[in-house]
């Protein structure tokens, strides 16, 4: 019995400890439920208003004081305003703490209200209540097909349209879903198995936290889910008087988008929430702001949003002066020729490496074998530095011992601060570094280009510091007058600007050819280069690479090269979601990244038990030395399943691997 098993036997695993901590909250909900179930429809809605008032009163004193202080700011001297802002921050924290205490007090009743609303919808074709002004507003909206008005009564139907499909409400919360709701309310990540109803679980903490009136954001990974979930779960909230909207249904910076943020519950995609924050930071007037304080967010597929895409920056860019004045199309043929020369060389180097390493295996002479190995791995390393994404090279590197030998060669040439590296890259025209995401010309490449354009200095950056100091000395020695100095300095700077742009264009075009492959990193659709998400294989609409890289790929593919842009505002999803007072998430696969969630966001991951025992068997991972062995094992497994008459779904990381299998 190992040490971990001993600890588990003594103290239980994390999952069982979490269950013990949360079970009392679930029991309180079960105790409160019979009383809520006994209420009439109108009494149920009145109960919501009652607990909503209780929660909002908890922070009313602080909110009133904050309003008074804000009114004073305009008439207060600037040097005294900081003290007012500090008071506002302190009061805001007090209000949020008071809201949280009140929410914990009313949680059993609030969860019971949501559960019983779901039960009433599931058991009755129509749920009839006394119509309120809010009900009449809902009827006025033609998209709200779940409600009709008959005299003084509002009739809530149990079937409506969501995501373009007609749905009938047939769900009521299980105990394990209440368990999940408590976890989400506490600002943790609920890990739930597929099919356990994550969307329904979210209704509990969303409803509860919306009672504060400070807004709740439900964050999804795509706009279809945002719209569908707002329409699917919306009637549950609206029956109890809470407003619901989806930002993805409205144009950015529009009054409708602003109104969506004022709703009690706001659905949307992670990108749109982030971009709205950036637009607000570029607003020139408070009236142009759409978002309000970041109160509480529940993130669906939280591992995808907060881990996989966390460091991907959201960027708002705009045109630059002379944005159409670019050199990409001008130098594309030249770079293509250079690329073809190096591609041919890389193929020859790979062939040489294969031959010499094969000969080294055959010979019995140890000295000759070692020499052949050294020469073979050097040729292989040169081929790798020339074109690291060469498919034949990647395939060869997957063979036993080949990559290890090449990495050993790389270590030798990188030793002592890359002292021997010039010898390794001497035959190459340019050097590609995948890790650094760079592509740099060698002296040989610069000479090749100079010969092609009959100009030795065309792709060489002038030593601007030396030339400026010479100019300064000429001015100090009275060899040139002030005006001549200014004119020559301006000419020097202008020349340097043109040269640096030319070198940058060349580097980006080289990157486009060597590191970005069509149908892998991007696709060309309707004359446009569109980026492909490497995690999901989906096209990322509206995204562009920065620093001229996208224009370089457009020039490579002979489509229209769009104007250059500059960054106006940027933020990563990681930094955006850190701004929320309380953050929670749902996923089916979070325990593998539990450490990262805690280190970055201080979010705890809690496994939610399934409603019924799982029949599926999860087997241990199998690790193979080479890709060939792995794919052969996959094929054997699929054949075995097919022979048993069992359908088989094979998931891969790319279209290429799917086609290969």
Burial class of 183 by CB neighbour count within 10 A (0 to 12, 13 to 18, 19+): buried
Which pLDDT score is estimated for 4?
A: 56
Confidence grade of residue 307 (pLDDT, cut at 50, 70, 90): confident
Check whether residue 397 and residue 483 sit in a common domain. Answer: yes
Mean pLDDT of 332-353: 94
Question: Is 359 found in the same domain as 483?
Answer: yes
**Which of 308, 360, 373 is closest to 587 using CA atoms?**
308
| CATH number for 252 | 3.40.50.300
- For residue 9, the model assigns a pLDDT of 55
The answer for residues whose C-beta is within 8 angstroms of residue 379's C-beta and 6 or more apart is: 349, 350, 352, 353, 356
At residue 216 the predicted structure's pLDDT band, cuts being 50, 70 and 90, is very high
- Report yes or no on 340 lying in a domain: yes
Asked whether residue 332 falls in the same domain as residue 389, the answer is yes
In a domain, 405, yes or no: yes
The whole-number average pLDDT for the span 6-18 is 67
* Most confident segment among 113-117, 410-414, 569-573, 609-613: 113-117
Span 605-609, mean pLDDT?
A: 86
Interior/surface letters 205-244, b for 16+ CB within 10 angstroms, e for the rest = bbbbbbbbebbbbbbbbbbebbbbbbbbbbbbbbbbebbb
In a domain, 614, yes or no: no
Number of alpha carbons in the 13 Å side-chain half-sphere of residue 267: 27
Domain boundaries, position 376? 328-514
User: What are the pLDDT digits (tens) for 394-412?
Assistant: 989 988 889 999 999 999 8
pLDDT band at 637 (very low <50, low <70, confident <90, very high): very high
Banded model confidence at residue 325, pLDDT cuts 50, 70, 90: low
pTM: 0.77
Phi/psi at 319 (5° precision): -70, 155
Q: What is the mean pLDDT of residues 279-295?
A: 92
Q: For residue 156, count other CB atoms closer than 10 A to its CB.
A: 24
What pLDDT shows up at residue 137? Answer: 94
What are the residues whose beta carbons fall under 8 Å from the beta carbon of 464, sequence distance 6 or more? 492, 493, 496
Same structural domain for residues 509 and 522? no
Task: Kindly state whether residue 616 falls inside one of the protein's structural domains.
Answer: no
Q: Quick one: 284 and 422 in the same domain?
A: no
CATH of the domain at 531: 3.90.1440.10
Q: What is the average per-residue pLDDT within 152-171?
A: 93
Q: What is the pLDDT of residue 520?
A: 87
Q: How confident is the model at residue 474 (pLDDT cuts 50, 70, 90)?
A: confident
- The answer to whether residue 307 sits within a structural domain is yes
Whether the predicted pLDDT of 647 surpasses 60:
yes
Is there a domain that residue 87 lies in? yes
Give 59-79 pLDDT, tens digit per residue: 999 999 999 988 888 888 888
434 and 469 in a single domain? The answer is yes
**Residue 106 and residue 204 share a domain:** yes
Over range 297-314, report the average pLDDT. 86
- Does residue 510 sit in the same domain as residue 523? no
Mean model confidence pLDDT for the chain: 89
User: Which pLDDT band holds residue 3 (cuts at 50, 70, 90)?
Assistant: low
The structure tokens listed for 134 are: 């809010």
Q: Is 389 within a domain?
A: yes
What's the number of domains the chain is made of? 4
pLDDT for residue 25? 92
290 and 384, same domain (yes or no): no
> Does 167 fall in a domain?
yes
Asked if residue 632 and residue 593 are part of one domain, the reply reads: no
The arithmetic mean of pLDDT across residues 163-185, rounded, is 93
User: Hunting for tokens 């999901």 — which residue is that?
Assistant: 536
Residues 95-132 as b/e (b if ≥16 CB within 10 A, e otherwise) read bbebbbebbeebbbbbbbbbbbbbbbbeeeeebebebe
- 3-state helix, strand, coil split of the chain in percent (to 5) is 60, 15, 30
What the block records as the tokens of 538 is 């989906």
- Reported as a pLDDT band with limits 50, 70 and 90, residue 92 is very high
Per-residue pLDDT band at 343 (split at 50, 70, 90):
very high
Is 521 in the same domain as 494? no
- Strand extents, DSSP E, 333-467: 430-433, 438-441
Residues 506 and 523 in one domain: no
Q: Residues 437-445: what's their mean pLDDT?
A: 89
Confidence band for 322, pLDDT divided at 50, 70 and 90: low
Residue 10, pLDDT score: 55
Backbone phi and psi for residue 454, each to the nearest 5 degrees, phi listed first = 55, 40
pLDDT at 8: 55
User: For residue 168, which phi and psi values (nearest 5 degrees)?
Assistant: -115, 130
């Amino acid at each position: 019995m190992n040490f971990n098993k001993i600890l588990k036997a003594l103290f239980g695993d994390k999952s069982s400890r979490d269950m013990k901590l949360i079970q009392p909250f679930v029991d309180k909900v079960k105790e409160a439920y019979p009383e809520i179930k006994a209420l009439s429809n109108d009494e149920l809605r009145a109960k919501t208003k009652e607990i909503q008032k209780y929660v909002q009163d908890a922070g009313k004193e602080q909110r009133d004081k904050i309003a008074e202080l804000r009114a004073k700011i305009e008439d207060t001297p600037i040097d005294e305003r900081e003290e007012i802002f500090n008071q506002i921050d302190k009061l805001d924290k007090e209000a949020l703490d008071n809201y949280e205490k009140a929410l914990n007090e009313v949680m059993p009743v609030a969860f019971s209200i949501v559960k019983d609303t779901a039960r009433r919808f599931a058991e009755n074709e129509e749920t009839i209540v006394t119509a309120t002004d809010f009900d009449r507003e809902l009827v006025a909206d033609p998209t709200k097909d779940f409600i009709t008005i008959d005299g003084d009564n509002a009739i809530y139907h149990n079937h409506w349209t969501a995501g373009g499909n007609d749905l009938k409400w047939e769900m009521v919360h299980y105990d394990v879903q209440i368990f999940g709701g408590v976890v989400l309310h506490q600002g943790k990540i609920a890990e739930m198995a597929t099919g356990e109803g994550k969307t329904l679980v979210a209704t509990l903490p969303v409803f509860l936290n919306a009672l504060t009136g400070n807004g709740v954001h439900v964050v999804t990974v795509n706009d279809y889910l945002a719209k569908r979930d707002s329409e699917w779960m919306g009637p549950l909230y609206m029956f109890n008087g809470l407003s619901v909207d989806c930002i993805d249904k409205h144009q950015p910076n529009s009054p409708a988008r602003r109104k969506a943020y004022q709703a009690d519950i706001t659905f949307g995609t992670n990108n749109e929430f982030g971009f709205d924050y950036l637009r607000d930071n570029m607003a020139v007037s408070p009236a142009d702001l759409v978002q309000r304080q970041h109160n509480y967010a529940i993130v669906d597929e939280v591992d995808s949003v907060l881990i996989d895409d966390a460091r991907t920056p959201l960027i708002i860019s705009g045109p630059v002066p002379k944005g159409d004045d670019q050199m990409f199309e001008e130098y594309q043929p030249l770079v293509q020729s250079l690329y073809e020369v190096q591609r041919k060389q890389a193929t020859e180097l790979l062939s040489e490496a294969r031959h010499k390493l094969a000969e080294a295996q055959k010979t019995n002479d140890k000295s000759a074998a070692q020499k052949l190995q050294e020469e073979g791995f050097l040729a292989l390393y040169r081929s790798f530095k020339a074109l690291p994404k060469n498919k034949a090279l990647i395939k060869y590197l997957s063979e036993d011992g080949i990559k290890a030998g090449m990495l050993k060669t790389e270590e030798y040439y990188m030793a002592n601060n890359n002292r021997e590296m010039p010898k390794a890259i001497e035959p190459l025209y340019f050097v590609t570094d995948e890790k650094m995401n760079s592509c740099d010309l060698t002296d040989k490449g610069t000479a090749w280009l100079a010969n092609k354009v009959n100009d030795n200095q065309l792709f060489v950056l002038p030593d601007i510091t030396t030339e400026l100091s010479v100019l300064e000395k000429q001015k100090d020695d009275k060899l040139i007058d002030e005006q001549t100095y200014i004119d020559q300095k301006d000419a020097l700077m202008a020349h340097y600007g043109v040269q640096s742009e030319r070198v940058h264009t060349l580097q980006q075009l080289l990157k486009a050819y060597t590191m970005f492959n069509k149908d892998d990193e991007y696709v060309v659709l309707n004359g446009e280069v569109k980026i492909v998400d490497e995690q999901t294989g989906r096209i990322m609409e509206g995204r562009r690479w920065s620093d001229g890289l996208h224009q370089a790929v457009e020039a490579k593919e002979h489509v229209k090269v769009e104007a250059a842009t500059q960054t106006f505002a940027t933020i990563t999803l990681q930094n955006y979601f850190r701004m929320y007072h309380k953050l929670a998430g749902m996923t089916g696969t979070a325990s593998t990244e539990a450490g990262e969630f805690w280190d970055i966001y201080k979010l705890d991951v809690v496994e939610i038990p399934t409603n019924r025992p799982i029949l599926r068997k999860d087997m241990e991972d199998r690790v193979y030395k080479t890709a060939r062995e792995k794919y052969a094992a996959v094929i054997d497994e699929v054949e075995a399943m097919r022979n048993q008459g069992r359908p088989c779904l094979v998931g891969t990381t790319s279209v290429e691997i799917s086609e290969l299998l």
